Structure 1
Amino acid sequence: MGGAVAAMAELSGTDDPRPITVVLWLTVAVLAFALPVTVLLTRSRQDRRRHGAEAVGELRRHFLTRGRGVTPSSFRRQWYFTGRERALRELSAWLAGELPGDHRTRVVTGGPGAGKSAVLGRVVTFGFPALRREVPAGQTPADAGLVPPPGSVHCVVHARGRTADQVAADIGRNVGRPVGTALELLAVPHRDAGRPVRGIVIDGVDEAQDPEHLITELLEPLAAGAAAWRIRLLLGLRTGADRSLLRRFGPYLLEVPLDDPGYFDRADLSEYARRCLLAEGEPGVSSPYRKRPELAARVAAAVAQRAGTNFLIVQLTCVTLAALPEATDASPEQFPDSVGAAMERYLAAFGAERRTARDLLVPLAFAQGAGLSDPVVWAALATALGTARYTEQDVAWLLGERRAVHLLTRADDASRLFHEALGEHLRAAVAERTGVRAAHRLITRTLIDHVPPGPDWLAAGKYVRLHLAAHASAAGQVTELLLDPLFLIATDPDEVIGVLPINERAEGRPSPELQDVIDVVLRAGRTLFVRNDAERAAYLQMAARKLGAEELAGRLAALPLALPWSVPWARWRTITAGAGLIGSQNEYVRRLSVGAQLIVACSDNSLGVWRLTAEGIHPVLLPERLRGLLSAAPVPGAVITVHTDGSLLRHDVVSGEVQPWTPKVGVDQLDYCAPITFQGRDLLVLGGASHVRLWDPVDDKPAGPLMQLPPGSSLLDAATCTGRPLVLTDLAGRVRAFDLAAGDPYGESFLAFDDTIADLDGPVWSGALGEADGHVVAVVAGRGDRPIVRYDLDTGGRLGGDLASPGIATMSLAVGYGLLGAGGADGRLKLWSWPAGEPIGHDVAAHEGGIDSVAVLELNRETVVVTGGRDGATRVWWPRDSAARTKDDLSTGQLLRMRVGGKERLLATTGDDLLLLDPGDGRTIATRPAPNRGRDTLGRYLGPGPGNVAITMADGTVHLIDAATLKTRRRFTAAGPDDIAALATAPGRVLVVTRTGMLQIWDPARPRPIRTVEVGPGVWNMVAINGIALAPGRDTIAAVVLDTGQPSAERLAAGCPLSSSIYRIVTGKITGRGVAVGIGASSHVHVWDATKGTLLVDTIIDDGHRMALSDAVVAPLHGRDVVVTGGYAGAIAIWDLDGRVGEVIELGSPVWSLAVVGGDTIVAGGPSGLIAITLGRDAVLTDRARRDLGVRLLGS
């Protein structure tokens, strides 16, 4: 794997992996579906062979022809390009490296026909080696400064009709580092400073399938990181009247505006027209002007005068004139002055066939993506939109007609108009006659009529599957299509997701049935991408089951598809009603801040901003790509962002302009930025590795002294309390506040927790400042087994009793406006009154995944809570609505499969209850109270004595119960309240580990333990194998012989070869051999022979996340012995020891426990509930894994 990673180090970069804090509790990560690097490298060799010739052919069609100054399908062979010398000179010098250190992206702009593609074509033709070789002798300018040096351009892409992922894939393929998505490209490591700079040219940015998405998801991050990646990025786009596309690049670009008078010389236009009219050296082109150069020069000047600055008008006009039988000396007023007029004059040359040619070209004006390829569909669209009936023979005529071919560009057997301005003209004519929506209705109906009966969307043509949704949306007729589950499966996911909000605006409020579809598609989200049809159906069904959309789930299950797996049932937590979803991003919302009448949501690469007014909350900036965000904070009229490369940016919330912000703060390695109001001013707290400072962003000057912090301190919160601007810090559990105005520590420091629990992430995970009765109060929290505590910094004592964590861990805290809010790693929001600490309502199911940020604000004299989650959502909550209980909350800590009364059953712990479930449908058969927030509280008791299940309770007792009735048959007290860390069983024995690290070996018939052995703290799981108790903790595995209580010398107890923390061990049999499977951090897995103790597997499961695993089960699926693992990232991996089985299924929420039932079904439990996944036979009964997870037997 190291070699593969090294191979990816050429292009771009990710930062070092974050500590385990980020590893734990994650939901679906942004790169959840990145292919293994080894697979990518294999695909690299295949793609480069397959795509080499066709890629050069595409470049020749677009860039070389425009660099020559001819249309893509022109029969002309000579070089007609002239002019644009200033633009070419500037770009050539930049690409040649004559401006060292200038990595700003160059963007060539101009109106339709201004010659953007011609300029880029010229650059590519001479700078890209594959095309430079085709330049004939004599065509290289005498002035070498007008063309870039050979080899200065390494990657060339035409973005027309392409998605961000497709453009990223083209870039990767061009530079020999293949990727599948934009995120994969952006995740490749930075290049060393000594490596050559790569030139990347992308034309037609505004003609991409979604230009805004292309810029925000790929091009802007590339521009921002150009220096670190050592690239020079050159783009071509039309800016539009509002220049919104250009503004999305922020400060990382330099515009080359071809419409600016400084970049235009009318003599260039005249010379280009003269060359086109003369057509010298073109034996295959006849022109009446060839032997009349004086007339050609006079007409060229007249044509150029009418064309203004537009080369396309000149090109079309001169091609038309050159095709006439006789030369004309018409006055300038008779020549066209617009693209539309030039095209009409060109079409007039068709004579009696003019109407036919126009009607056949109109469908191309409306075509999406690469254009039309099926002549039958093309003819039908021409009939629907035109003035006569057409057949595929008419399409064949058009493609064979020399005059028509000049207007087209062809690739992959698909045809488009060669210039977008031609399409705009033809669309405008149709719109004037029928209206745009009516035209799209005709297109929609025609495309549907050409789908095989059913309709069988899976058998539909490529164009229908890719683009019907867009046409139907523009027609206001997408609802009926969205209600067809097969359409959802067959259609490009980008298209489906893209039309959902459009549908809501265009077709009114959705019906309940349509709302189910919208909710399901949005819940499925990115799981719909890079999957085949059957997998897409499975993920949609999963989302439907989670949301309780049973009818849609059933219809998906009934589709004629062999699903790799299906979801027969789910008991999944739904988001509590009453929330306002104000934003959604493709990454976790790591930080929220409120100030200057703004809400700011910050993720690693996205920013969302909303304005607070008397009317409500209004977006002012949609979440946009801003690579490497560390922190963000509002200031009056703007937002300040801090980035991983050390830069700071100021985003104006009125104009949208983005500018570098360079205050002389004096803080090294600045990574913290928070708003604070002090003495009526909106200020900033800026902090870094060892310093923090109060700063005035309006006057751009210090508002307090530069303060040095103890090395290694982390900043928890900043707030004004009792009139002082304070910052709260943590250093290995020691919490301290500092007065930013005075420059001194404030109050008493304190140790956050007085327990002895070992924690790799440190004890304090979140903190907040508030005030009570004139005193400053610090609130801190950590892991789920630690409380939320309040300390009075003025007296040095605790304020009131401790508060219960929201579960798993308290990731975020906020105090304000009489409220304390706590966000949990399981997506729960808990609210209390402040400072009394009285609970307000029930826990709120706020997010699917952890809540990294909470903020409290006042809106229209009402307290409001804002949360940012790892599901990418930013939500607003009104405490008055928190009385509503979450529907069907079945947060599951542990699952245990058993035979009860001859039937297969599941026991499930919820923290409050023990449930007996039917695994066939998830129905509850019986329940009993069983309070215990631990994870390993349940075990099968093997007797002798009554009861067949052992379970621990929060009061420190252990109960032996009857699984059929859930009634207690015997009980004993093993520890104090909440002091049991783990439970296991062995024949005739119950094993208990306390939180202080003591192993108790019990015979349930006796009043006290047989033996007590110290195994050390940090043990959360235990298993008994062959009379030996194994207790994994930290970097060692304690082994104790049950009969003697003495340490065991078994090799299995020697620790973890990868020096990773193994905190859970499970046992089972694979092909008749007993095995022990150990799981831990970063997806580390170890498999031992349970009898011999020898190590069989030592690896990292390559499930796309590499985050902490929480459970494993060894069991047969469809008769094949496999291991199933799941963890905090929400992914289930299925694998065997010899690499023949490999499957990953994304659940989207942490997995705490797993069970295999029915021989074909996996049941997963976690904080969001329970879900059953039934695997198809082909998922496991193959000799080749569907996905290589990197599992190999040692020595194989």
Structure 2
Amino acid sequence: MSGTDRGALADILLGQVGRDPDGSRRWAEADPYLLRHAVQHAVEGGRLDELLADPEFLVYADPATLIPALPGASGPDALIAATVYRSALEDLPSALPEQRRQYLAISGSRVGARTLARRLSRPFGSPALALEPLFSTGSEIKPAVRAVFDDGDFRVYAVVVARTGGRQVVVTTGTDREGYDTIIRFRDLRTGEPTLPPITITGDREQPGRVSRYQGVIAVSEVDGAAAVVLRSEDGLVVRSVATGEIVREHPTGEGYCLATGVLAGRAVAAVNEEPGILVRDVDTGAPVGPAIPTPSEHVCSLEIGEIGDHPVLVYATRSGRYGDEDPGGTCQVIDLHGGARIGPVHRSSPRSGTAVARLGLHKGRPVVVVGPQHVHTDNKGRRYHPDVEIRDVFTGEERFPAWSQYEGVRALAVTLMDGHAVVVAGNGRGVVTVRDLSGGGEPYELLSVGIARGSVHDLGIARADGRVLILAACDDGKLRVADLSPSDSGPATPSPGHQIGVESIALARVGGHPVVLSGGHLGDLYRRDARTGTRTALLRHGDLRVTDIAVTTVAQHPVAVTGSPRAGVRLHDLASGQPLADYRTPGDDKEWVYSVDVLPMDGRPVIVGAGHGGLVWMWDLLGGECLLRWKVPDGDAHRTVWRALLVDGAPVLAGVQAEYGPSTGHIALYDLASRTRRDVTIKAFEGYSSTQCLAVHEHRGVPLVAFADFEGTLAVWDARTGTLVSRVVNDADTERPQTALACGEVDGRAVCVVGTQAGHLGVHDMLTGERIAGTVLPGGWIRCVDIDDDGLVAVGYGQEVAVLDMGGAVGGGGA
């Protein structure tokens, strides 16, 4: 069929879709065949851009056929649409159309496509979204992700790519949903389709979740001229054919967890750590090739076989076996596999580095070792030591670049070539993959940083297809993600940056009558943004570790904010200028334990109530700075860092959560701060405690209310005066648990709760009845903090991002 004929066929098929008075097609009424195949006909007829620029088509089209067509976008609007669609890639395939509308609207806001987001939020002839996104930052958008393979596994631990039968096959290991069994999967890299049925290795039912050595240790090799994967089992090495999945070799070995494969003297070999050191074994026979390589420590944590010139070498890293402040740092060595001699000096890691990954690289023709510690160390004062990635010359040990801090550790590391440049690819504990260029002089500048996963990246694989560099990330949420790290023309993405590590606290306020949103980050950064556009208007700071809570009020008609920090105490900020106004001191050296702050009126003056670790409570005169109270509540050590202050019959009262760590039954205790006594009212029976954001208070028509959202999906509200239950609702869907953030407010005379979950779901409930008023979902998961104002704006901190949504007409009327 000619191009003209294909175009005519596309015209006929698209002509079958009715149109609204504004000219937009009514895809909601389209035939299922068209929803699935219209994009294929549009590609053949040269009409793809037209479809991608239609927001309703994005909502109703079948993702299975639309996703593969996205690279064909060329026009400006189509490129924007493709970027937005790709940013929500993993959520769309299993979603219903109205859920897709929500995903796409918030994704449009995240990438800066405000016009598209608005059109999605307000479809012609239909109600607007109950929670319309006004803006969102987009630090963690994933436009580079090209495919998400989700088999419903619990975790994916390791990934490799092998060639067989003229195609690239991706092999992964992971665990089933119950955490017992190991599953090995084989799939075609290009299509994602399985090439073999999955292989299940039965685990230890007596120890669910126990990590088998199969799960995290896999490498590619060759046996009998065919591609094979080598896995480290409980008893030794198991070699499986990539083509058939069958075991072709088994070799017993000693205890150990590390594995690397390579070629030595024309033979496929595997390096394994086992007593008395590291052995290199022939993959075909299992026999040792040469003597054991002694190690300075039995704690080998990384192995790699590479080449320096014509010499095969082994790169290995060890950890000290000591932890935290007692850890002097591990070592890394490079061994010539021809003679067993060490090449260059012993490379020592920095103190507190713990387990590390070491890889061989190249800088200006000279070999280097790249060492990345895996974990973040937190000392007993809450200081976080983010590990440094170090690059050393193999022969001299000198630093080839200044070390750089890798936030959330280096869980996976690879060195490869991209556009002819040597690059380091690192995956961290927050699912972010960072690419740094090693080719230039000076500091290895960051080429790319993309959020790949929701959680940790356990392993990285590198593949090349169609001239592009692909990264395969094995993730702890049970998914394998494929991202394109090559320069891409996937479309304009101009996201507003969020917080570098994560959002800890959030609050809505007004400056000059205009709504603003304040967000506190993990590094003490405090941003003020326009609540409707997201434009950053000021950077405020409070210390260098976590802005744990924010309270807003007015002083002489000037808006101010009070912030708390675990290390920097309590500070007052002027919201108009962004300048700090005062720091509040305590008689003791305990300001570092401030976790929550509230402002209450007492005798006509504003008072700050702060609470922290171990039940320690303070009160300050906001205007004068005087510390009015320093008190440790009874049974303070049983309290979690979950506090809120309110007025009960005009008296200042502090509500606190008492519960054991971990899922357990607990209760809310109330303390009268004026008399320093515990009130008789105790609010009981919630399941599991949550973190600092799941307790909220609100006064509705003179009645003080306390609300709590627990791990198990229960949202309950009580009268703080009597402890009487006002409402209770149980959100029992998996996506509605655990609940991780809560705020209460008054909108159009109606008392409402906004609750967020670890899965990114956001729900609005009537406080008095429990009725669910509205809901949406934020791609990116884990809502950490929320706030609401009396105009119906909802501020959300999720991951590193900040968003504001408008309830519009969702909240109407009022409770009795």
Q: What TM-score do the two structures reach when normalised by structure 1?
A: 0.47
Give the Cα–Cα distance (whole angstroms) in 2 for the partners of residues 886 and 676 of structure 1.
Answer: 42
> How far has the Cα of 1:1156 moved from its partner?
2.2
Who is 2:597 aligned against? 984
1:155-166 equivalences under 5 Å are: none
Instruction: From the superposition, tell whether residues 440 and 751 of structure 1 become closer, same or farther in structure 2 (CA, over 3 Å).
Output: closer
Equivalent in the alignment of 1:1162: 794
Change beyond 3 A, Cα 1:852–1:1051: farther
For 1:670-685, list aligned pairs within 5 A.
Answer: 674-676=259-261
Q: Percent identity?
A: 15
Greater CA radius of gyration, 1 or 2?
1
CA contact (8 A) 2:156 2:480 kept: no
2:457 corresponds to which residue? Answer: 852
1:147-546 matches, cutoff 5 A: 435=1, 441-453=7-19, 454=23, 455-500=25-70, 504=72, 510-529=74-93, 533-546=97-110
Evaluate the alpha carbon distance shift between residue 1108 and residue 458 of structure 1 in structure 2; reply closer, same or farther with a 3 A threshold: closer
What is the identity, as a one-letter code, of the residue corresponding to 1:448? L
Q: Deviations over 1:278-333 (max 9, x none)?
A: xxxxxxxxxxxxxxxxxxxxxxxxxxxxxxxxxxxxxxxxxxxxxxxxxxxxxxxx
- Other-structure match for 1:1011: 630
Determine the structure 2 residue equivalent to 1:634.
220
Match of 1:893 among 504, 517, 532: 504
CA distance in structure 2 between the partners assigned to 1:439 and 1:477 by the alignment: 13
CA distance in 2, matches of 1:639, 1:1045: 74
The answer on whether the counterparts of 1:520 and 1:540 sit within 8 Å (CA) in structure 2 is yes
The answer to which structure, 1 or 2, has the higher relative contact order (CA under 8 A, 6+ apart) is 2
Shift of 1:962: 2.5
**Deviation at residue 899 of structure 1 after TM alignment:** 4.0
Counterparts of 2:287 and 2:753 in 1: how far apart (Å)? 59
1:1113 aligns with 2:743: yes
| CA gap 1:609/1:692 in 2 versus in 1, 3 angstroms | farther
**Kindly tell me: are residues 941 and 867 of structure 1, through their superposed partners in 2, closer, same or farther at Cα, counting changes over 3 Å?**
farther
After TM superposition, the structure 1 = structure 2 runs for residues 762-781 of structure 1, keeping only pairs within 5 Å, are 767-769=356-358, 779-781=373-375
Query: Partners in 1 of 2:455 and 2:679 — Cα distance?
Result: 41
Distance 1:989 1:822, change over 3 A: farther
Alpha carbons 2:40, 2:65 under 8 Å: kept: yes
CA distance in 2, matches of 1:494, 1:857: 25
**Distance (Å, rounded) in 1 between the aligned partners of 2:299 and 2:812:** 47
1:1066 to 691, 695, 709: 695
Q: Does 1:698 pair with 2:283? A: yes
Query: Residue 938 in 1 paired to residue 558 in 2?
Result: no
User: Equivalent residue for 1:52?
Assistant: none
Q: Could you tell me which amino acid in structure 2 is paired with residue 1023 of structure 1?
A: R
C-alpha distance in structure 1 between counterparts of 2:736 and 2:302, whole Å: 30
Count of aligned pairs between the two proteins: 693
Question: Hey, what's the Cα distance between the residues in 1 that align with 2:616 and 2:425?
Answer: 36
Q: What is the distance in 1 between the residues matched to 2:813 and 2:270? A: 60
Distance in 1 between the 2:79 and 2:674 partners?
64
Which residue of 1 is the match for residue 246 of structure 2?
659
Return the offset for 1:595. Answer: 9.2
Structure 2: distance between partners of 1:477 and 1:844:
32
Decide whether aligned partners of structure 1 residues 908 and 779 sit closer, same or farther in structure 2, where only a CA change above 3 A counts.
closer
Identify which of 790, 793, 812 aligns with 2:411: 812
**What is the rounded CA distance, in whole Å, between the counterparts of 1:698 and 1:1044 in structure 2?**
75
Cα distance in 2 between the residues matched to 1:441 and 1:945: 65
Please give the per-residue CA displacement for 1:659-688, whole angstroms capped at 9, x wherever unaligned.
2467254789x9x77435597776557899
Query: Contact conserved, 2:412 with 2:428, CA < 8 A, in 1?
Result: no
Q: Which amino acid aligns with 1:1101?
A: N
Kindly indicate whether the alpha-carbon contact (under 8 Å) linking 2:131 and 2:775 is maintained by their aligned counterparts in 1: no
| Change beyond 3 A, Cα 1:1018–1:608 | farther
Structure 1 SS opposite 2:104: helix
Query: Mean alpha-carbon deviation: is it higher for 541-550 or for 454-463?
Result: 454-463
Amino acid at match of 2:506: L
Measured at CA, do residues 608 and 1148 of structure 1 come closer, stay the same or move farther in structure 2, by a change above 3 Å? farther
Distance 1:928 1:984 in 2: 17
- For residues 843 and 933 of structure 1, what CA distance do their matches in structure 2 show? 27
Quick one: which of 815, 821, 841 aligns to 2:445? 841
Instruction: Work out whether 1:1028 is the aligned partner of 2:654.
Output: yes
| Greater percentage in helix | 1
- Assess, with a 3 A threshold, how the Cα gap between structure 1 residues 658 and 991 changes in structure 2: closer, same or farther: same
Residues 855-898 of structure 1 deviation map (CA, whole Å, 9 limit, x = unaligned):
59899xxxx9957367854446699xxxxx99531224322123
**8 Å Cα contact 1:1162/1:1174 also seen in 2:** yes
1:299 corresponds in structure 2 to none
Q: Equivalents in 1 of 2:494, 2:112: separation in Å?
A: 14
1:1074 Cα deviation after fit: 3.3
Q: Specify the code of the residue in structure 1 equivalent to 2:357.
A: A
Match of 2:518 in 1: 907
Query: Following the alignment from structure 2 to structure 1, what is the Cα–Cα distance between the partners of residues 199 and 667?
Result: 41
CA distance in 1, matches of 2:75, 2:371: 49
Which of 806, 810, 815 is the equivalent residue of 1:1174?
806
* Residue aligning to 2:138: 573
Q: CA deviation at 1:1126?
A: 1.8
Q: What TM-score results when the alignment is normalised by the length of structure 2?
A: 0.66
Q: Is the 8 A contact 1:894 1:909 kept in 2?
A: yes
Q: Shift in Å at residue 635 of structure 1?
A: 2.5
| Maintained 8 Å contact 2:132/2:808 | no
Q: Offset at 1:972? A: 3.6
Task: Measure the CA separation in 1 of the matches of 2:384 and 2:231.
Answer: 32
2:707 is equivalent to residue 1077 of structure 1:
yes
Give the drift of 1:469.
3.2
Task: Kindly report which structure 2 residues correspond to 1:784-799, keeping only aligned pairs within 5 A, or say none.
Answer: 786-789=384-387
Structure 1 CA distance, aligned partners of 2:698 and 2:585? 34
* Distance in 2 between residues matched to 1:725 and 1:822, nearest whole Å: 17
3-state SS, counterpart of residue 1027 of structure 1: strand
998-1007 or 905-914: bigger deviation:
998-1007
Change over 3 Å in CA distance of 1:1159–1:609 after alignment to 2: same
Shift of 1:847: 0.9
Per the TM alignment, residue 1112 of structure 1 is displaced from its structure 2 partner at its CA by 1.0
Q: CA RMSD in A?
A: 6.0
Kindly indicate whether the alpha-carbon contact (under 8 Å) linking 1:1127 and 1:1151 is maintained by their aligned counterparts in 2.
yes
| Residue 589 of structure 2 corresponds to residue 971 of structure 1 | no
Structure 1 Cα separation of the partners of residues 471 and 303 of structure 2:
17
How far has the Cα of 1:1007 moved from its partner? 6.6
Please state whether the residue corresponding to 2:38 is helix, strand or coil. helix
Post-superposition CA distance 1:445-480 (Å, at most 9, x none): 333333335443334444434443344344454443
Q: State the secondary structure of the residue aligned to 1:545.
A: helix
Unmatched 5+ residue regions in structure 2? 175-182, 201-213, 293-297, 307-312, 341-345, 362-366, 391-397, 417-421, 488-492, 601-605, 647-651
